[in-house]
C-alpha cells in the first residue's frame, strides 16, 4: 500500500469507536480556514509501525500529516445525505509519520510562535508531528440549486480527525480533533463549487505545516454539536485527479478576448505555473461551448464558473481544488506575457472508477458517439451521479441514472459508487415516507416548492430508479448480497406506486415527467411530450413489477413474488384494455395494435416492457417502424423512449430501421451533435442549433449522459455482448451486423475475467456477406453463440471462431 492510500475499505469492517470532536474555527477566514495541531510523538517505543488517519468534515477537507498530503483525494468527504450519512476516509499515513526527523534535527520544537495547548511553545525535545486540515465550503455550505440557496445543510465549516500511531512495541498514540487545536487563514479568499475559487499567492506557503510555525493572527476553535452515529465509512471510491488535457489552440474572440480550447468537454479545473507582477490578477472563466465566437456562458445560468488568481511576484502554481467546472473553453484575462498552449493544463477530476467495457466499430461517427458517452459518464460521476456538471444545478437527478445505469455498469465498475448513492436514496426515501425524491441527495426538500411542479409524489422512471438501478447492478455483477441490501428500498417504491393506481389499474393520475425532452416539445416546456403520461407511467410500472417478481424470487421472498406477479397481470390487462386497440374493425376505431398517443415512445415501451403479445405486438412493431420511417428516421423520443426504441425495433424484425435511426445525422439524432464537433452527449437533441447558436431554452446542457443510454444497444446488438445470467455467468454472443458496418469489437472485464468479441463482414465470391465472429470466453463463463441462420452453440473457456454466410 503506497503512501496516502485510502484504507477505508480495509479498516471499515470493525472500526474503532470515535473519540474525536467535531471542531470549527472561531473565525470563518473567508470560508477556507486552516486547522492545526502540533504534538510530540511518544518516545521510548521504538519505530513507528503504522499510522492511520480517519478524517471527515462539514464542508470539504484536505488533510496534511508531517507536512505532506495525507492522500491525493480531492473534495472529501463529498456529497451525501448529511442528515443521516456523513462519510469518512481512512488513510495509511505510516510513511509520513515514520519519516519525521529525530530530536535535534531541523524543524524541532522550540521555534518562536504562539504557545498553549496544541502549539509549539516550550516542549520537550522530540519528534514533533503537525496535523493540518484545510476546509472549504463544498456541498455542505456552498451554493446548491438554481434558486440561489447557500448553506443548506449548515452555517459552520468543521472537521473531525483522528490519527492512530502504533509503535514497534505495540504502544498506541492517538491524536484527535478537540478544543486545543488552532485555526488560521489560508491563501483562499473565496470558494464555491458553482462560482469558482479565488487564490492569493501572496498568502500561500507551507510554513504552517512545520513544527514551531509562527501562528500570529490565528485563533481558537470550538466544538460543534455533532452526532457521531451518522458517521459511516465510504462505500464508494474517492474523487481524484484522473488525467491532464493540454489545449489544442489559443484564439481570440470577436471582441478581442483570449480563449483557450482544450478540444474536449471535461470536468475539473485548470492548473498552471506563471510569473508576473505582485498583486496582478489572472481571471479564468469556463464554458462548454462558444456562442458567436465568444464564451457561451448563458447555459450556466447563475453559476459564475470563474477562478481568480492573485500573483505573488515570484513563480506561482495555481490549482483550485475547492471547486470544479464543466468546460471545454476557458477565457483568460490578465495573463502576463504571451498565452500559448503550453501555458495551461486542464485537470480531469471524477470518482476513481475502473474501466471495464469497451466498444469500437467501422463507423468513425459511432466511435465518437461512444467516446462522448464515456466522457459524459466521467464528468457526471463525481461523487454523485449528476445530471450535469456545469450550471447551477449538478444534482443527482434520479431519472437520468435510471435509464443510464446499464451503460454505466458496462463501461466501468460502478459497484461501490452506486451502492453508496443507493444508501443515500434509502435514507431520503425513508424520510419522505416511502417516496423516492427527484434528486438524491434531496436538497430540493429545503427549497420553496417550485411552482412549476405540483406537490411531490412518486413518478415513473425518476422514482423507478429505486428498482431499475439495483436491477442493472444485479444483471451486471451478479451480487445477490447487494440485491438483498437494496430490496427494502425496491419493495417500498413498488408498493407505494401500487397505492397510486387508479381504479382502472392504470398509473394515470398525479404529476409525471413523462417522456421528458421529447424533441417536439417546446424548448420552454420539456414535459409537453406526445406520449401521454399515463401510458408512459403505467408501462414503466409494469417493467418495475416484472423486475420485482424476479428479484423477490431470487431472494426467496415468495409471498412478495406472487403479489407482484398478480399486480403485474392486473396492470398489463388494464394497459391493454384502456390503451391498446386489440382488434380494430370498427369504422371509427384505430387499427389493431395501435397504442394510445400513437407515437414512437409508447410503442417502444409497450414492446420492450412485455405489455403486448402475439399479433398485437407484431402490429405495434410494424406501426413503430412506420412512424420512424415517416419521421425520416429522425429521433422523436425523449428520456422515456430513447433508451428502448432501438431494442423494440431490432427485437421485432426491424433491424434495418433501427440502424437507420441510429446512423441518422440530421437533427434530431444521436449523430447530429457529433457532426457539430460534440465531445460529450447533450441534454437536448438540439442543445446547439444547426446554425451554431445555443438552444433558447433556459435548460440547456452540453454534458448530460441520459440520451447516451443508446450505448446499451450498441454493446449488445452491434458488439454482441449481453448477459443471459446475472454477472455474465452465461453470456449471449449475438452480434447483428447492419447499417453498412464491416466490423465491430467489444470487451468486458467480468468478475470471472475478460470477455471479448470481434466480428467482420467480408464478401464471398458469390457476393454474399460472410460473418466471422471471434469470441474469447474466460474460465467460469458459458457463452451462447447465436448467429444469423446458424444453430445456437454453447461454448466454455477459450477462443472460438464461427462463420456464417448470407449476411446482407
Where residue 765 falls among pLDDT bands split at 50, 70, 90? confident
pLDDT of residue 767: 72
* Residue 580 pLDDT greater than 80, yes or no: yes
Q: Which residues are catalytic?
A: 393, 683
| Gap between the Cα atoms of 5 and 368, Å rounded | 35
Nine-digit cell string for 271: 492548473
Q: What gap in Å lies between CA 434 and CA 439, rounded to an integer?
A: 14
313 falls in which pLDDT band (50, 70, 90)? very high
Residue 764: what pLDDT?
Answer: 79
Q: Report residue 23: phi and psi, to 5°.
A: -120, 150
Q: Is the Cα torsion angle 569, 571, 576, 580 positive or negative in sign?
A: negative
pLDDT value at 242 more than 50: yes
Q: Report the alpha-carbon distance of residue 290 to residue 292 in Å, rounded.
A: 6
Predicted confidence band of residue 452 (pLDDT cuts 50, 70, 90): low
What is the residue-wise DSSP string for 361-380? ES-HHHHHHHHHHHHHHHHH
Q: Listing from the earlier edge strand, what are the strands of the sheet with 60-65?
A: 68-69, 60-65, 128-136, 34-40, 182-184
Label residue 697 left, alpha or beta by phi (over 0 means left) and psi (-120 to 50 means alpha). Answer: beta
pLDDT value, residue 768? 80
pLDDT band for 10, please (50, 70, 90 cuts): very low
Tell me the pLDDT band of 122, cut-offs 50, 70 and 90: very low
Cell numbers 462560482 correspond to what residue?
195
- The crossing angle, in degrees rounded to 10, of helices 600-608 and 533-554 is 20
pLDDT at res. 106: 44
Q: Is the pLDDT of residue 779 over 60?
A: yes
Q: Which of 96, 283, 297 is nearest to 197 (CA)?
A: 283
Q: How far apart are CA 643 and CA 662, in angstroms?
A: 12
pLDDT in tens, 498-551: 999 999 999 999 999 999 999 999 888 888 999 999 999 999 999 999 999 999
Q: Which residue do the cell numbers 465498475 mark?
A: 413
Mean pLDDT of the chain: 93
DSSP assigned state of 114: -
Distance CA 744, CA 417 (A): 30
Query: Which grid coordinates are listed for 404?
Result: 443510464
pLDDT value at 3 more than 50: no
Whole-number Å distance between alpha carbons of 806 and 787: 11
Q: Which of 349, 328, 348, 336 is nearest to 251 (CA)?
A: 328
Half-sphere exposure of 251 (CA within 13 A, CB side): 15
Compare 581 and 334 and report the one with higher pLDDT. Answer: 334
Query: What distance in Å separates the CA atoms of residue 303 and residue 443, rounded to the nearest whole number?
Result: 17
Grid look-up 403505467 returns 538
- Lowest mean pLDDT segment, chosen from 259-263, 527-531, 670-674, 696-700: 696-700
Spell out where 625-752 has E strands.
Answer: 721-723, 730-733, 743-750
Per-residue confidence (pLDDT) for residue 126, from 0 to 100: 76
**Residue 451 banded pLDDT, cuts 50, 70, 90:** low
Residue 708: predicted pLDDT: 98
Cα 328 from Cα 296, distance rounded (Å) = 11
Determine the average pLDDT of the residues in 450-470: 88
The Cα–Cα gap between 646 and 603 comes to 11
Q: How many whole angstroms separate alpha carbon 307 and alpha carbon 57?
A: 24
Amino acid at each position: 500500500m503506497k503512501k496516502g492510500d485510502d484504507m477505508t475499505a480495509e479498516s471499515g469492517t470493525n472500526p474503532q469507536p470515535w473519540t474525536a470532536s467535531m471542531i470549527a474555527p472561531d473565525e470563518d477566514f473567508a470560508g477556507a480556514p486552516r486547522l492545526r495541531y502540533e504534538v510530540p510523538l511518544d518516545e521510548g517505543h521504538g519505530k513507528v509501525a503504522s499510522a492511520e488517519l480517519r478524517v471527515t468534515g462539514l464542508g470539504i477537507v484536505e488533510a496534511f500529516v508531517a507536512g505532506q498530503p495525507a492522500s491525493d483525494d480531492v473534495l472529501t468527504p463529498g456529497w451525501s445525505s448529511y442528515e443521516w450519512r456523513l462519510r469518512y476516509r481512512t488513510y495509511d499515513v505510516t510513511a509520513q509519520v515514520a519519516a519525521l526527523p529525530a530530536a535535534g534535527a531541523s524543524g524541532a520544537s522550540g521555534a518562536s510562535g504562539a504557545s498553549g495547548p496544541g502549539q509549539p511553545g516550550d516542549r520537550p525535545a522530540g519528534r514533533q508531528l503537525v496535523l493540518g486540515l484545510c476546509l472549504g465550503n463544498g456541498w455542505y455550505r456552498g451554493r446548491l440549486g438554481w434558486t440561489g440557496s447557500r448553506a443548506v445543510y449548515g452555517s459552520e465549516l468543521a472537521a473531525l480527525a483522528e490519527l492512530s500511531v502504533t509503535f514497534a512495541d505495540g504502544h498506541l498514540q492517538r491524536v484527535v480533533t478537540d478544543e486545543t487545536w488552532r485555526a488560521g487563514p489560508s491563501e483562499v479568499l473565496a470558494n464555491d463549487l458553482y462560482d469558482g475559487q479565488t487564490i492569493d499567492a501572496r498568502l500561500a506557503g507551507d510554513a504552517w505545516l512545520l513544527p514551531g510555525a509562527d501562528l500570529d493572527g490565528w485563533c481558537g476553535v470550538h466544538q460543534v454539536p455533532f452526532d457521531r452515529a451518522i458517521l459511516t465509512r465510504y462505500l464508494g471510491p474517492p474523487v481524484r485527479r484522473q488525467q491532464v488535457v493540454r489545449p489544442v489552440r489559443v484564439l481570440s474572440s470577436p471582441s478581442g478576448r483570449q480563449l483557450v480550447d482544450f478540444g474536449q468537454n471535461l470536468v475539473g479545473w485548470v492548473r498552471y505555473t506563471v510569473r508576473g507582477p505582485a498583486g496582478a490578477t489572472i481571471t479564468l472563466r469556463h464554458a462548454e461551448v462558444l456562442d458567436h465566437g465568444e464564451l457561451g456562458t448563458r447555459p450556466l445560468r447563475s453559476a459564475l464558473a470563474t477562478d481568480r488568481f492573485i500573483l505573488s511576484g515570484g513563480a506561482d502554481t495555481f490549482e483550485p481544488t475547492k471547486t470544479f467546472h464543466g468546460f471545454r473553453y476557458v477565457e483568460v484575462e490578465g495573463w502576463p506575457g504571451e498565452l500559448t498552449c503550453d501555458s495551461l493544463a486542464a485537470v480531469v477530476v471524477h470518482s476513481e472508477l475502473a474501466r471495464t467495457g469497451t466498444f469500437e466499430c467501422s463507423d468513425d461517427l459511432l466511435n465518437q458517439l461512444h467516446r462522448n458517452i464515456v466522457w459524459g459518464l466521467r464528468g457526471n460521476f463525481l461523487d454523485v451521479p449528476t445530471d450535469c456538471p456545469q450550471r447551477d444545478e449538478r444534482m443527482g437527478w434520479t431519472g437520468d441514472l435510471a435509464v443510464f445505469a446499464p451503460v454505466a455498469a458496462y463501461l466501468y465498475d460502478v459497484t461501490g459508487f452506486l451502492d453508496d448513492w443507493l444508501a443515500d436514496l434509502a435514507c431520503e426515501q425513508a424520510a419522505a415516507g416511502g417516496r423516492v425524491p427527484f434528486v438524491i441527495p434531496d436538497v430540493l426538500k429545503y427549497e420553496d416548492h417550485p411552482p412549476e411542479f405540483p406537490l411531490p409524489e412518486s413518478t415513473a422512471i425518476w422514482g423507478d430508479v429505486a428498482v431499475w438501478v439495483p436491477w442493472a447492478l444485479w444483471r451486471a455483477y451478479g451480487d445477490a448480497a447487494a440485491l438483498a441490501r437494496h430490496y427494502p428500498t425496491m419493495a417500498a417504491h413498488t408498493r407505494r406506486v401500487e397505492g397510486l393506481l387508479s381504479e382502472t389499474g392504470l398509473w394515470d393520475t398525479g404529476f409525471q415527467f413523462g417522456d421528458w425532452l421529447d424533441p417536439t416539445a417546446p424548448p420552454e416546456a420539456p414535459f409537453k411530450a406526445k406520449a401521454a403520461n399515463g401510458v408512459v407511467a403505467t408501462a414503466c410500472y409494469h417493467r418495475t413489477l416484472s423486475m420485482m417478481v424476479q428479484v423477490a424470487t431470487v431472494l426467496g421472498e415468495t409471498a412478495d413474488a406472487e403479489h407482484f406477479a398478480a399486480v403485474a397481470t392486473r396492470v398489463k390487462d388494464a394497459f391493454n384494455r384502456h390503451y391498446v386497440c386489440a382488434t380494430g374493425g370498427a369504422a371509427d376505431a384505430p387499427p389493431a395494435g395501435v397504442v394510445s398517443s400513437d407515437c414512437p415512445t409508447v410503442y417502444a415501451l409497450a414492446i420492450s416492457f412485455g405489455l403486448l403479445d402475439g399479433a398485437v405486438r407484431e402490429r405495434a412493431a410494424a406501426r413503430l417502424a412506420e412512424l420512424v420511417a415517416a419521421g425520416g428516421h429522425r429521433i422523436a423520443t425523449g428520456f422515456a423512449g430513447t433508451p428502448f426504441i432501438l431494442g423494440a425495433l431490432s427485437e421485432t424484425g426491424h433491424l434495418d430501421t433501427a440502424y437507420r435511426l441510429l446512423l441518422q445525422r440530421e437533427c434530431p439524432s444521436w449523430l447530429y451533435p457529433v457532426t457539430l464537433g460534440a465531445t460529450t452527449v447533450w441534454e437536448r437533441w438540439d442543445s446547439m442549433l444547426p446554425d451554431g447558436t445555443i438552444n433558447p431554452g433556459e435548460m440547456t446542457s452540453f454534458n448530460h449522459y441520459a440520451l447516451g443510454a443508446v450505448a446499451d444497444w450498441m454493446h449488445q446488438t452491434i458488439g454482441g455482448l449481453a448477459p443471459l445470467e446475472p454477472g455474465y455467468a452465461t453470456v449471449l454472443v449475438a452480434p447483428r451486423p447492419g447499417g453498412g458496418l464491416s466490423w465491430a469489437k467489444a470487451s468486458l472485464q467480468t468478475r470471472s475475467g475478460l470477455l471479448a468479441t470481434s466480428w467482420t463482414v467480408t464478401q464471398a465470391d458469390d457476393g454474399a456477406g460472410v460473418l466471422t465472429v471471434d469470441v474469447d470466453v474466460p474460465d467460469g463463463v458459458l457463452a451462447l453463440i447465436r448467429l444469423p441462420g446458424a444453430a445456437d452453440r454453447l461454448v466454455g473457456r477459450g477462443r472460438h471462431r464461427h462463420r456464417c454466410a448470407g449476411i446482407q
